[in-house]
Structure 1
Amino acid sequence: MLSERSAATVRATLPAVGAAIGEITERFYARLFAAHPELLRNLFNRGNQASGAQKQALAGSIAAFATHLLEHPERRPDAMLGRIAHKHASLGVAPEQYDVVHEHLFAAIVEVLGEAVTPEVAAAWDEVYWLMANALIAVEKRLYEASGSRELRAWEVVERVEETADVVTFRVRPAAGGPVRDFRAGQYVSVGVELADGARQIRQYSLSGAQDESVRQFSVKRVHGGATPDGEVSNHLHARVGVGDVLQLSEPYGDLVLEDIAGRPVLLASAGIGVTPMVAVLAALAGDGHGAPVTVVHGDRSPADHALRADHAAYAEKLPESSVHFFYERDAEPGTRSGLVDLTGIAVPAGTRAYLCGPLPFMRAVRTQLIEKGVAPADIHYEVFGPDLWLAEG
């Protein structure tokens, strides 16, 4: 994929670029938002910008892609690209925006590295960027064609359910009527809201089910922080959105979907609000009559904090070969376990495909235990809410 000359240059300069990538992304976003303030108000997640999570994720993805080009020149990192492309498609990212990113990213590289950016170095990293960008553009084009639209659409709230003290489920249908496309269990939608300061912010929420073919359902956990960017959308939805209000939703996207599971054991592990895609996946398994073993693992602060708990248990009970393991940090009830999720003592059948959703430390710990139990790394799939910081660690 990468030309031999550029590969040699990237290999020689990767340590220097990698060491400075945090500063480069800091400069990049500062330049980008100075030139295009509307992107911060209306596209980028202000909470992730304030916390630095988005900068860390961008740095990680660039470094991971460059490293992959050098270590595996014969194949493209489709899993990583697909994950990013689904998130971009849910936000409506357009091909021309990659030119804007290129302009400010390379200006930031020159600012940070100075004279070390020779024409040869610039050309090599330019090749890396466009290999990644063009691959993403191609994947996003296919996703838009499959979904039928790149635009967010108006949906009216028809029901609001208080699941726990901090989780609300919204059921919505198209405000103007019209067809509703099917979604695959485990996918999410982008939800756009207009905040008090006029900013249009977008967040992703997993689809947790549907009442009928014209209704979609998603659940929102309130991020405590009040007016801080970290929780501005979840607090807005909790405090200000009710039946009759209108939200903007994207078509469904996301790659945490059931693949190659016919006759194979499945393990679904979640923590906190990570339960939402797992409930949809369980519903799909039950609806399809999946006959192989299904292991359900969930961790939460307490039974009262376990959103969609009744659905979580009910769908599992419909499966003939299911086992359920709920862990609670406090107030554990008979039949549940105390403490953090621990797979010790939980049977994981050979050939299991595992799906994880929850905080990164939780998924990291579960993945390690699964590999120790013999699950192939390629059979472990995950979803994160927000920037994928797992890439930043790699």
Structure 2
Amino acid sequence: MLSEQSTPVIRATLPVVGSALGDISERFYVGMFDDHPELLRDLFNRGNQANGEQRQALAGSIAAFATMLVERPDVRPDAMLARIANKHAALGITSGQYKIVHHHLFAAIVDVLGSTVTPDVAAAWDEVYWLMANALIAAEERLYQEHRLAEGQVWRPMEITGRREETPDAVSFMLQPANGDSAGSFRPGQYVSVQVELPDGARQIRQYSLSAAPGTAHWRITVKRVHGGASPDGEVSSWLHRNAGVGDVLAVSAPFGDLVLPDGDSPLLLASAGIGATPMLAMLDHLAATGATRPVVVVHADRSPADHAHRDEQRRLVQALPHAGLHLWYEEPGDEEASVGQADVGALELPSGLTAFLCGPLPFMRTVRGDLLRRGVPAEAIHYEVFGPDLWLGQD
């Protein structure tokens, strides 16, 4: 909770600071990477830096957290912090790195806002930063402890034991620890980070959902090749598509992520678009493997049947569940059992008391969430996963 002396200062300066957060975050990253080029080379996603999405996500998360502190002081932003903490843990972020961020962030604030940053203003925003940072540090420490890992020590070598082309732009890799041990368990819906060394020596990291159920000796990830044009977007996915094969060893993190299948027998909605189907596949696979009888509504949208990764597998898993239904939409025709156009969850018959899970491009998730809210589904029952920086924060 924000202190009594800082609350009015944050409330008064939030419009000014909020409107400048885009410039502040840009200056912040420039300054930090000038002093610590290894962070851009080996930790931060260079594609998201090039297209500006990481700057937008940082600004959105700070604005959302500060706004909640002054407008809803009795509400803990657990969902937002949990999502960020899981992303950080999957990257091996350490508590000491928050001091680096603090130094460069406040230098950027002073640089952009100048004399507006009085000692009282600086102290109040310093309090906001450390409230958020310490909450994340504590959450990340709990995540490391759950995996019995030292802080930041999330990596282990995993061998590719299988490779399968799913579509022209999606390939699956089977992974097993290089020492021959079992891959270990995870919660359906979680993801891992994969670190690869690129030709320029950078060790770039990307997250990929585990796309099959836990319980086997290996894990499976499905990587969609991202066509990034002039920006470095897609440099890791493209490298994996071109170079990674059976017998190769990758650095892979422990599993993280808060979009996970809940226990019980309450109804579920699993709505995905494009490669967003991957966490839903792990959930469906787990439900089928455990003989679940709960009602499950599965929605998937894609460009065409040929672009739909794991299409036959998804259909087979839905058919294996006694109370599940599959609803498909493709932008291009080609499947007699699918509708043509954009997904329309608002037209479906949905069971009461459902929990919804969404994964896919942000416009798709916004549309589905809006349809569900209009149908009376409570906001707290709608969960989502974003591949990349969470641009939803501070905008919803």
| TM bucket normalised to smaller | over 0.9
- In the aligned structure 1, how far is the partner of 2:230 from the partner of 2:22? 27
Structure 2 residue 384 is the aligned partner of structure 1 residue 382 = yes
- In the aligned structure 1, how far is the partner of 2:220 from the partner of 2:85? 23
CA offset at residue 178 of structure 1?
3.3
Structure 1 stretch displaced more, 162-171 or 68-77: 68-77
Alignment of 1:108-127 (within 5 A): 108-127=108-127
CA offset at residue 345 of structure 1?
2.7
CA offset at residue 333 of structure 1?
1.4
CA offset at residue 392 of structure 1?
4.1
Residue 342 of structure 1 corresponds to which residue in structure 2?
344
Residue 276 of structure 1 corresponds to which residue in structure 2?
278
CA offset at residue 211 of structure 1?
8.6
Q: Deviations over 1:231-266 (max 9, x none)?
A: 10010000011111111100000000022x523111
- In the aligned structure 2, how far is the partner of 1:73 from the partner of 1:293? 37
SS at match of 1:159: strand
- In the aligned structure 2, how far is the partner of 1:345 from the partner of 1:391? 28
Structure 1 stretch displaced more, 361-370 or 312-321: 312-321
Q: Deviations over 1:181-217 (max 9, x none)?
A: 3100000000000000000000000001169632110
Residue 129 of structure 2 corresponds to which residue in structure 1?
129
Unaligned runs of 5+ in 1: none
SS at match of 1:349: coil
CA contact (8 A) 1:226 1:232 kept: no
Residue 300 of structure 1 corresponds to which residue in structure 2?
302
State the one-letter code of the partner of 1:81.
Answer: L
CA contact (8 A) 1:10 1:125 kept: yes
- In the aligned structure 2, how far is the partner of 1:54 from the partner of 1:392? 14
- In the aligned structure 1, how far is the partner of 2:368 from the partner of 2:386? 14
CA contact (8 A) 1:270 1:357 kept: yes
CA offset at residue 393 of structure 1?
1.8
Sequence identity (%): 60
Residue 34 of structure 1 corresponds to which residue in structure 2?
34
Unaligned runs of 5+ in 2: none
Residue 199 of structure 2 corresponds to which residue in structure 1?
196
State the one-letter code of the partner of 2:82.
Answer: G
Residue 78 of structure 1 corresponds to which residue in structure 2?
78
- In the aligned structure 2, how far is the partner of 1:114 from the partner of 1:179? 56
Residue 106 of structure 2 corresponds to which residue in structure 1?
106
Residue 23 of structure 2 corresponds to which residue in structure 1?
23
- In the aligned structure 2, how far is the partner of 1:225 from the partner of 1:27? 24
- In the aligned structure 2, how far is the partner of 1:226 from the partner of 1:249? 27
- In the aligned structure 2, how far is the partner of 1:277 from the partner of 1:67? 31
State the one-letter code of the partner of 1:269.
Answer: A
Structure 2 residue 356 is the aligned partner of structure 1 residue 354 = yes
- In the aligned structure 1, how far is the partner of 2:216 from the partner of 2:294? 28
Residue 243 of structure 1 corresponds to which residue in structure 2?
246
1:314 corresponds, among 310, 313, 316, to: 316
Residue 53 of structure 2 corresponds to which residue in structure 1?
53
SS at match of 2:393: helix
CA offset at residue 310 of structure 1?
1.4
Structure 1 stretch displaced more, 334-343 or 88-97: 334-343
SS at match of 1:311: helix
Q: How many residue pairs get matched?
A: 393
Residue 219 of structure 1 corresponds to which residue in structure 2?
222
Over aligned residues, Cα RMSD in angstroms? 1.3
